[in-house]
Amino acid sequence: HRAMGETAWQTMSNLHIGIVGCGRSGSYLASSLVRAGVKNLTLLDSDTIEPHNLGEMALVNTRDLGRPKVDAVRDALLQFDNELNIATEVASIGKLI
């Protein structure tokens, strides 16, 4: 957190960010945000991990096949920092609006 300064780091760590879609872009975004200091995330996706996702997504591997994407991404992020606050929703955005 020294690179961005204490104030900016505190601001990042206090944000709560929602990510809609945890596939290719969403999984990389979640990983990048956590590495930047974000501690509070909500992940939303209705899909499960399929073989074609393994080469496209950050954080997942063969043990995640058949699991909801949100659960696989959450569990991988918690391995990085087990004090993260990550809520998950296995749903599409259309179901929540």
What is the residue-level pLDDT of the chain in tens, covering all 97 positions? 566 778 877 887 888 999 999 999 999 999 999 998 899 999 999 999 999 999 999 999 999 999 999 999 999 999 999 999 999 999 987 766 5
pLDDT at 48: 97
Nearest-angstrom CA–CA distance, 47 and 68: 6
**Across the strands, what pairs with 19?**
43
| Of 47, 13, 43, 46, the residue nearest 30 (C-alpha) | 43
pLDDT at 1: 52
- Full-model pTM: 0.87
Other CB atoms within a 10 A radius of the CB of residue 88 amount to 19
| Of 37, 34, 76, the residue nearest 58 (C-alpha) | 76
pLDDT at 36: 86
pLDDT at 96: 63
pLDDT at 5: 79
Q: Do residues 41 and 85 lie in contact, with contact meaning Cβ atoms separated by under 8 Å?
A: yes
